């Protein structure tokens, strides 16, 4: 075989290999990307979500407001939507929590209401009359409200067993800005079987989209400090997905509410 023939053979083989590779690439489906749900790979990594948590939770409208005293004895709470079956996501990986937790929600034309019942041994609860935003070193509950359902930003509101507040705006991938103070009312108390908190957040304290067919994203977490900083989440969380808000649950049914808005911004001295 001459040198010319050898070069021709090499070129022919190269062309054939490129053709086969191109056909294989065109035959392989391209994963679709979605700004809200992430890649197809993220979908495959997502934790298994129970059917009752996969569909939006309808928030009931209250006929009258509860008294925010931390007692949870108002008749109206019997008509609230109830969040149960939390999962320990840290240090465990979607396992049974050390202690059970319940959270209830409802609303009226002007206010969004939340209540928490955190079962525990009263003498082991860690709580102090802390400064605002300084409650995350003790027992607490936290709620992320993605009021535009864009999975990019959410209000973070937290409460310790005495009802001391923490609040800020969490941006996915950038942390939480605690310089914003949301106008709201909360009260907590220790009980014979743990602790309870009641919360009222005026809609005028928030920026949001609401109305028929609109969704809010939501995460509900409980932090039990003495159990290695345990985090219990209402929604299962996959450690293979870095985004928190892409794994949130959803609320619906917020209709006929106030469109006023008030937001306090605290200036640091």
Give domain status of residue 111, yes or no.
Answer: yes
Give domain status of residue 259, yes or no.
Answer: yes
Give domain status of residue 29, yes or no.
Answer: no
Give domain status of residue 238, yes or no.
Answer: yes
Can you list the residues of the chain whose pLDDT is less than 50?
Answer: 2-37, 263-269
Q: What is the pLDDT of residues 181-211, one digit of tens each?
A: 999 999 999 999 999 999 999 999 999 999 9
- The residue segments making up the domain with residue 59 are 50-265
C-alpha 169/C-alpha 146 separation (Å) is: 10
* CATH number of the domain that residue 136 is part of: 2.60.40.1190
Give domain status of residue 38, yes or no.
Answer: no
Residue closest to 45 by CA, chosen among 242, 258, 223, 179: 242
Check if the beta carbon of residue 180 is closer than 8 Å to that of residue 264: yes
What integer pLDDT is reported at residue 60 of this predicted model?
Answer: 98
pTM exceeds 0.75, yes or no: yes
Please give the C-alpha separations between residue 6 and each of 16, 19, 20, 37, in angstroms, as whole numbers: 16, 20, 22, 53
Q: What is the pLDDT of residues 31-69, one digit of tens each?
A: 333 344 455 555 557 889 999 999 999 999 999 999 999
Count: domains in the chain: 1
What integer pLDDT is reported at residue 261 of this predicted model?
Answer: 58
CA count, 13 A, side-chain hemisphere, 169: 15
Which uninterrupted H or E stretch holds 20? helix 3-27
Largest CA distance in the chain: 97
């Amino acid at each position: 075989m001459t040198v010319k023939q050898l070069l021709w053979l090499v070129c022919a083989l190269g062309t054939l290999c490129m053709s086969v590779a191109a056909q294989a690439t065109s035959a392989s489906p391209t994963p679709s990307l979605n700004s809200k749900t992430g890649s197809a790979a993220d979908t495959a990594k997502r934790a298994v979500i129970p059917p009752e948590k996969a569909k939006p939770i309808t928030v009931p409208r209250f006929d009258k407001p509860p008294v925010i005293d931390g007692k949870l004895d108002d008749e109206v709470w019997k008509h609230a939507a109830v969040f149960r079956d939390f999962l320990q996501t840290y240090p465990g990986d979607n396992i049974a929590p050390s202690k059970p937790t319940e959270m209830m929600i409802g609303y009226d034309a002007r206010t969004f209401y939340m209540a928490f019942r955190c079962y525990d041994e009263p003498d082991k609860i860690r709580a102090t009359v802390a400064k605002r935003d300084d409650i995350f070193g003790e027992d607490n509950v936290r709620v992320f409200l993605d009021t535009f359902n864009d999975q990019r930003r959410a209000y973070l509101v937290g409460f310790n067993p005495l009802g001391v507040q923490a609040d800020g705006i969490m941006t996915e991938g950038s942390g939480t800005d605690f310089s914003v103070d949301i106008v709201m009312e909360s009260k907590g108390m220790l009980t014979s079987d743990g602790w309870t908190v009641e919360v009222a957040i005026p809609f005028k304290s928030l920026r949001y989209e609401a109305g028929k067919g609109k969704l809010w994203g939501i995460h509900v977490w409980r932090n039990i400090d003495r159990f290695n900083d345990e985090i219990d989440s209402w929604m299962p969380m996959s450690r293979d997905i870095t985004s928190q808000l892409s794994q949130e649950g959803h609320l619906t049914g917020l209709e006929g509410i106030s469109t006023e808005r008030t937001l306090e911004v605290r200036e640091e001295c």
